[in-house]
Chain A
Amino acid sequence: MLQQILFLLVAALGIGLFVWQVRKIRANIMQGKDRRMGGSVSERINKTLLVAFGQQKMFKRITPALLHMVVYVGFLVINIEVIEIMIDGLAGSHRILQVLGPGYDVLMATNEVLGALVIVAVAAFWWRRNRQQPVRRLTGVELRAWPKLDANIILYIEVALMLALFTMNAADLKLHQLEGREMPGTFPVSALLVGLMSDNVTALHVLERVGWWIHIVGILAFLNYLPSSKHFHIIMAFPNVYYSRLVPQGQFSNVDSITHEVKSMMDPSYQVPAPPVDAEGNPVIERFGAKDVEDLAWTNLLNAYSCTECGRCTSVCPANITGKLLSPRKIIMDTRDRMEEKFNSPLIFAPNNYQGEERMQVSEEGTLVHGRVTPEELWACTTCNACVEACPVNINPLDSIIEMRRYLVLEETAAPQSLNVMFSNIENNGAPWAFSPSDRFNWADDLYVAEKGS
């Protein structure tokens, strides 16, 4: 009974704390601007099933995709056992799902095999990150300090949870053996560990309980770790894919206020709709483009919380490949760090700091542009959409980059000089080069075609 009450308290505390953190993050995302969505619900659900549940885009790279699949399926299936643990904890029952009969054998055996595979996959993940020459995309200026530590902590926690599960099962098996009872379920991995268990019944009881408690408390603690971690993607990937853009990747967003302005210039009778007003009834003057996080669309902010920092975007970025400062992943991580610095932060908050970083000339101001993302990074983008294509959870770094370029050009008039020349060429000549518009048709001079005898 005491254990049940204790469990109830621990579970309530763990879940309550998690809800509190999620609400803070939701509030951060809602700071973003509205975004016209488009597309049907069924189209969005299909995309979510394919890309998020089905991990379609992960399989562009087969090795990490398979390793990730093991951990992902392991997570989903082992969570069924977590439900059992929860029910047992509350009801004081023991292995309640044994009512499933042979189904319980299948479930437990699957869990055990997956659990072992998870440990193998996690070891491989650790090796890819921590060996002498790690996989290139798992390095970079944005992957130091907290993000680097975070990635390893996740791996350690996953192994610890699996070991707790095996400890619990092996101790339970041994107890049943000693007491001459039939243990419900089949445990192929723990069966191998039974030999390691003590013959002391009391010690086994304690060990089984310790394994049980570590597993469940570990899960609740991990749940509360998520909002501070890239591992939050296990939840956010789903809404992020659901709300991702469905239009062709080449179609960039429009700025409605500019459309109204241009229309009223072309047609004096055009009625510009009244601007939105704030609580006091004063018109809200919106900034062109994005200087800081609240100027971005809420979907851009949702992107930031869905990022696993896998770096597939950065590894295919032509600018990054050729040694430029731009890393699409950094743009996304900076967005998240800045949001948490400016608005609400989760339990653990350690934003990346680029002060003193030689190549990264950030200002004291702290805003997303200048304070974290430098114009040099933004101007290196070729808008090629490789990052958008590569992201397994449909994050769109390009959308944010364009919003920040709009701010630089329209608010600061701070485009590189050669681009200003290009702008004035378009204005004056109708072409980005300094050619006379009257020469535009010269290409057609002295043009001949061979008539083929037929």
Chain B
Amino acid sequence: MTPMEKRQVNVPLMADLAARGEAPEVLFWVGCAGAFDDRYKRVTRAFVRILEHVGVKYAVLGMEESCTGDPAKRAGNEFLFQMQAATNIATLDGYNIKKIVTACPHCFNTIKNEYPALGGNYEVIHHSTFLQQLINEGRVKVQGGESYKGRRITFHDSCYLGRANDIYEAPREVLAALDADLVEMKRSKANGLCCGAGGAQMWKEPERGKKDINVERTEEALATLEGDAAALDALYGVESGNAGATPAPKKSDNGIIAVGCPFCMTMMSDGVKNKEREGSVQVFDLAELVASAEGINA
């Protein structure tokens, strides 16, 4: 194998493409978390590396992007939401955008489902579906980099990808391509448990209760990775009987919780820290896993 060479990426701005009279194949909607949150910026950069690697003609809005209005809408501030939607639709339509990919399920859901009624009609796909397509087409081989063979991975469904939009298989197919040991939490897919951040909870303290939701979910993820049936029984309560087909207990020292959402990323990472397990269990986004398996990080 020839030694790797690294190349600096100049992320193409939509304004520049438009000035040259060019149109992108797909617009990458970065989202606020992807642009500002230190942890999720790494996901944005991983996803851009993949876009560069496969040679898709893409562009980003850069400073012209603004919050989709999702947190405002879920919190009940419909006026602010519609103002944001109108602004963004004006920007997107100004560039005649047809197709949008985003790594944030909240942006995905809002642009895909709620912008049409306000006049914004685009083909919107989440990056899990986009990555699945690249893998299926053979454009990404998930080889040549870090090997995940045999590592235990559990996927945490985000509500706005799963129940909200019925996307359950795409992220799992991406993970399956890593040849890892994929284990499912009992509360998965349509029965998935929220990380606790949706509905604008990300920006406020939780109400009075016994436990934080992200801790509950992280406990489930950790117990599933480790096949700890007793811990799972304690979590699921009396009615569930037993935890079902869990693998034999195996203390995980390199388990991975995979996510596909910036808020889930924050909540699950905080949960792992809360359980003091950040030394042995990592939280990664799908794009990070693919970029690292493909060996394109530099």
Chain B, range 1-22, C-beta contacts under 8 Å to A: 1-9, 11, 13
Residue of A nearest to B30 (CB): A443
The one of A321, A415, A440 that contacts B77, using a Cβ cutoff of 8 Å: A415
CA distance A416 to B76 in the complex (A): 12
Chain B, range 196-235, C-beta contacts under 8 Å to A: 196-213, 216-217
Chain B, range 23-81, C-beta contacts under 8 Å to A: 30, 32, 34-37, 41, 44-45, 48-49, 52-53, 60, 62-63, 65-67, 69, 71-80
- What size tier do the contact residues of chain A reach? 35 or more
CA distance A382 to B192 in the complex (A): 13
Tell me whether A410 and B74 are in contact (CB under 8 A): no
Complex interface: stretch among B83-91, B128-136, B169-177: B83-91
Tell me whether B203 and A450 are in contact (CB under 8 A): no
Residues of A within 8 A of B295 (CB): 450, 452
The one of A252, A421, A433, A438 that contacts B114, using a Cβ cutoff of 8 Å: A252
Chain A, range 198-251, C-beta contacts under 8 Å to B: 247-251
Tell me whether B208 and A376 are in contact (CB under 8 A): yes
CA distance A381 to B194 in the complex (A): 11
Q: Assess whether B123 is interfacial by the CB under 8 Å rule.
A: no
Tell me whether A440 and B86 are in contact (CB under 8 A): no
Residue of A nearest to B119 (CB): A263
CA distance A265 to B167 in the complex (A): 36
CA distance A441 to B9 in the complex (A): 13
Residue of A nearest to B81 (CB): A258
Q: Assess whether B237 is interfacial by the CB under 8 Å rule.
A: yes
Q: Assess whether A326 is interfacial by the CB under 8 Å rule.
A: yes
CA distance A415 to B76 in the complex (A): 9
Tell me whether A450 and B206 are in contact (CB under 8 A): no
CA distance A359 to B207 in the complex (A): 12
Chain A, range 284-334, C-beta contacts under 8 Å to B: 288-289, 315-316, 318-319, 321-326
Tell me whether B67 and A262 are in contact (CB under 8 A): no
Tell me whether A449 and B2 are in contact (CB under 8 A): no
Q: Assess whether B296 is interfacial by the CB under 8 Å rule.
A: yes
- Contact string, A415-454, partner B, CB cutoff 8 A, digits 1/0? 1101101110011001111010111111110111111110
In the assembled complex, how far is the CB of residue A440 from the closest CB belonging to chain B, in whole angstroms? 5
In the assembled complex, how far is the CB of residue B282 from the closest CB belonging to chain A, in whole angstroms? 21
Q: Contacts A259-B118, A432-B71 hold; do A249 and B211 have CB atoms under 8 A apart? A: no
Q: Which of B11, B13, B200, B205 has the most CB of A within 10 A?
A: B200
Complex interface: stretch among B94-102, B158-166, B247-255: B158-166
Tell me whether B74 and A443 are in contact (CB under 8 A): no
Tell me whether B197 and A382 are in contact (CB under 8 A): yes
Tell me whether B198 and A384 are in contact (CB under 8 A): yes
Q: Which of A136, A259, A431 has the most CB of B within 10 A?
A: A431
Residues of B within 8 A of A443 (CB): 30, 34-35, 41, 44-45
Q: Assess whether A405 is interfacial by the CB under 8 Å rule.
A: yes
Tell me whether A419 and B75 are in contact (CB under 8 A): yes
Tell me whether A326 and B77 are in contact (CB under 8 A): no
Q: Assess whether A385 is interfacial by the CB under 8 Å rule.
A: yes
Q: Assess whether A10 is interfacial by the CB under 8 Å rule.
A: no
In the assembled complex, how far is the CB of residue A431 from the closest CB belonging to chain B, in whole angstroms? 4
In the assembled complex, how far is the CB of residue A37 from the closest CB belonging to chain B, in whole angstroms? 14
* 16 extra A-B contacts, CB within 8 A, seeds A251-B164, A441-B11, A450-B5: A250-B109, A250-B163, A250-B164, A259-B117, A318-B193, A318-B213, A322-B196, A382-B196, A382-B198, A385-B163, A389-B191, A402-B76, A410-B77, A447-B9, A452-B53, A453-B5
Listed by A's residue number, 6 A-B pairs whose Cβ atoms lie within 8 Å are A248-B113, A386-B159, A409-B75, A409-B77, A430-B67, A440-B65
- B residues with CB within 8 A of A: 1-9, 11, 13, 30, 32, 34-37, 41, 44-45, 48-49, 52-53, 60, 62-63, 65-67, 69, 71-80, 82-84, 86, 90, 109, 113-114, 117-118, 144, 159-160, 163-166, 190-194, 196-213, 216-217, 237-239, 294-298
- A residues with CB within 8 A of B: 60-61, 133, 135-137, 247-252, 254-255, 258-259, 261-263, 265-266, 288-289, 315-316, 318-319, 321-326, 359, 376, 379-386, 388-389, 402, 404-410, 415-416, 418-419, 421-423, 426-427, 430-433, 435, 437-444, 446-453
For the complex of A and B, list the 6 residue pairs with the smallest distance between their C-beta atoms, beginning with the closest: A250-B164, A453-B2, A323-B210, A405-B76, A383-B199, A430-B66
